[in-house]
Amino acid sequence: MGKIIDERGLGRHRVEKYQFEALDLDLEEEEPFDPSIFSTTTESEPPHKEEKEQSTSPETTELLEKIEALSAEITSLQTTLDIERKEREKEIEEAKEKAFAKGKEEGIRETQQALQESLDETRIQMHKSITDLQETMEHYHERFDRLEEEVSQSALLIAQQIIASAVESDSAKIARKIAQTLIEELKEATHITLHINPADAALLEESLGKEPRVSIKSNNAVTPGGVILYSDAGNIDGTLEARIKRTIALLQKES
């Protein structure tokens, strides 16, 4: 195989090593281009007169053109790789921003959801507390009503015991006082009949027997100290038991 460059013409041609620009991308390392294969270290001999006048050979020109084309292609490739690298970096940055925005939105949504769940739980607890309080109040109202009824019954029993004790000695006087009060309340009545216990009849006949519109009748159904009044203006149960019951009912109504 013949040499591309004649050794006698090396003095007129110099092929230097091409310097490749470094790329930032992680590419597989290719075997570096070694242009030294096109150079020789043989000392140049003094040029002959006819070699000075000789022009560049076609082989050398073709080789130089190929090298130049290769260099341009490498430069174009590096430019393309730089553009692609910048696009990838841009895509990565956009992906990071989208991921951050998405994470932020999810964080806000999760926080709102947690707050809503906490608020719902608080509302449930408050509703339960209110319900429990209402049930407790109803329970106390029921107990109060029962207690009020028990107190009324106890008061009636106590009053009956006290009155019974007083009636044993002064039933006639008590009956007379009640009769006078009832007659006073029925001033418009023209005829009044008083039913009293026989034990109280003598004193009432003495005190009220002279009243023209009043008549007195003994009645064993009436307890000592009590009076039942009948008239053309209305009837009144003036027995002690009835008066006590009316008093207690009035107190309960006012409370």
Domain hosting residue 210, numbered range: 171-252
Q: In 1-86, where do the E strands start and end?
A: none
**58 lies in a domain?**
no
Q: Is residue 186 a part of any domain in this protein? A: yes
Domain shared by 69 and 162, yes or no: yes
Q: Any bridge partners for residue 215, and if so which?
A: 193
pLDDT digits (tens, 9 = 90+) for 168-210: 778 888 888 888 888 888 888 899 999 999 988 889 888 888 8
- The residue whose two tokens read 């719902």 is 120
pLDDT digits (tens, 9 = 90+) for 49-87: 444 444 567 888 888 888 888 888 888 888 888 888 888
Q: Do 175 and 154 contact (CB within 8 A), yes or no?
A: no
For the chain, percent of residues with pLDDT exceeding 90: 9
pLDDT value at residue 195: 93
Are the CB atoms for 85 and 24 separated by under 8 Å? Answer: yes
> What radius of gyration, in Å, describes the C-alpha atoms of the chain?
66
pLDDT in tens, 132-167: 888 888 887 788 777 777 777 777 777 767 766 766
Please state whether the predicted TM-score (pTM) of the whole model is above 0.75: no
Q: Quick one: tokens of 225?
A: 């100290």
**Beta carbons of 79 and 23 less than 8 angstroms apart:** no
Based on the structure, what is the number of domains in the chain?
2
Tens-digit pLDDT profile for residues 29-56: 445 555 554 444 444 455 544 444 445 6
Domain C-terminal end among 122, 139, 169: 169
Of the candidates 7, 15, 10, the one whose C-alpha atom is nearest the C-alpha of residue 62 is: 15
